Amino acid sequence: MDLNSLILPLLIVLLAVPLFLQARKQKRAMAEQQKLQNSIAPGDRVMTTSGVFGTVVATSDDTIDLELAPGMTTTWVRQAVREKVNTESAPEVAEVKDETPAEPETESKAEVAAPIEQQKTN
């Protein structure tokens, strides 16, 4: 057998295997996303693809109603839901503390130049 006759089949295999593995990975991810979107029920806390957090109030075949704030409900397509959020690990607003610096500020020793108008007249 000639070495040149083996190069083409080897190249085809080297290109086909990664494509096959990538397609399987993408198909698995799509199946997981579909499963998530089908499992959404009222009361679930979710995050949309645009980063909006809300609580599911009602669902239909292809839309969901999210309560973003008390009394503020919006309608979204199911595909806009990115993930369910665990209410125990949901992001909370950090408490702002008024801290004083540990060391007092020192005065700057930089010199300030005179305004341009005064420099021209001198």
Res 118: pLDDT: 60
Q: Are 86 and 46 in contact (CB under 8 A)?
A: no
Beta bridge partners of 84: 46
The amino acid present at 66, given as its one-letter code, is: L
**Mean pLDDT, range 96-109, rounded to an integer:** 59
- Tell me: the pLDDT tens digits for 22-36? 999 999 999 998 998
Q: Does 59 or 100 have the greater pLDDT score? A: 59
- CATH number of the domain that 43 lies in? 2.30.30.30
Least confident of 5-9, 63-67, 93-97, 114-118: 93-97
Specify if 120 maps to a domain: no
Does 99 fall in a domain? no
Output the six-digit token pair for 51: 């980063």
**Residue 122 pLDDT class (50, 70, 90 cuts):** low
Domain count, the chain: 1
pLDDT at 3: 75
